[in-house]
A and B are shown apart, each in its own frame.
Chain A
Amino acid sequence: DAGVTQSPTHLIKTRGQHVTLRCSPISGHKSVSWYQQVLGQGPQFIFQYYEKEERGRGNFPDRFSARQFPNYSSELNVNALLLGDSALYLCASSPSGGALTYEQYFGPGTRLTVT
């Protein structure tokens, strides 16, 4: 089975632009979480989606939004890009959103550079 896939792998944008990042979870997994990882730091939680509904939101501005599709894939959108948005964006897939679930598998990430 394929693991978590993300696209694109790398992206360069200019300040003020918007970006859409995509994630496909492991087959059969219904939950997707998004994280931002700035160089030298641990990942920071942005969103969790389960069954197409937002289940959790981290401390990020409204410029960040996401959605999950009927096939459980997900998009992360960032508007009005700032230099500080440059980071590795990670998508994590889980079988479900319940408290008994501990499995969480990360995709390879999208490296976003804002110039």
Chain B
Amino acid sequence: GQNIDQPTEMTATEGAIVQINCTYQTSGFNGLFWYQQHAGEAPTFLSYNVLDGLEEKGRFSSFLSRSKGYSYLLLKELQMKDSASYLCAVRDLDAGKSTFGDGTTLTVKP
């Protein structure tokens, strides 16, 4: 099975940088996703890493180390609208199945 750990809550200041960590133990690994989910809404895709290293996409970057079972999502130039839950998910070898962590609730303060 899969076990995914991420912090429950984080707080940061508008304009700052925040790093959200995710560790996982898996029986099969076929990539790691990060999703953003605002309260009452569906998750929206942010990034996908399948190889080690950093993927950058605008203000958002995601890093993966498969040997360490570790990923992080880096958010730069934080905006108030970035306040949301950030979900780390590991895709199983069965491509349609992803196991999600419980999410990190990020609060951005002025």
Interface residues of A (CB under 8 A from B): 31, 33, 35, 40-45, 48, 50, 55-56, 58, 90, 94, 97-99, 101-109
The residue in A41, A43, A48 that gathers the most chain B C-beta atoms within 10 A of its C-beta is: A43
Interface residues of B (CB under 8 A from A): 4, 30-31, 33, 35, 41-45, 48, 50, 87, 89, 91-103
State A41–B101 Cα separation when bound (angstroms): 8
**CB closest residue in chain B, given A54:** B96
Which among A42, A48, A106 is the interface contact of B96 at CB below 8 angstroms? Answer: A48
Which among B91, B96, B98, B102 is the interface contact of A55 at CB below 8 angstroms? Answer: B96
Which among B44, B45, B96, B102 is the interface contact of A40 at CB below 8 angstroms? Answer: B102
By DSSP majority rule, is chain B's interface helix, strand, loop, or mixed?
loop
A108: chain B residues at CB < 8 Å are 41-42
Q: Is B102 a contact of A48 with CB atoms below 8 Å?
A: no
B31: chain A residues at CB < 8 Å are 102
Once A98-B95, A99-B30 are accepted as A-B contacts, the answer to whether A106 and B100 lie under 8 Å apart by CB is no
Q: Is B96 a contact of A56 with CB atoms below 8 Å?
A: yes
State A101–B50 Cα separation when bound (angstroms): 11
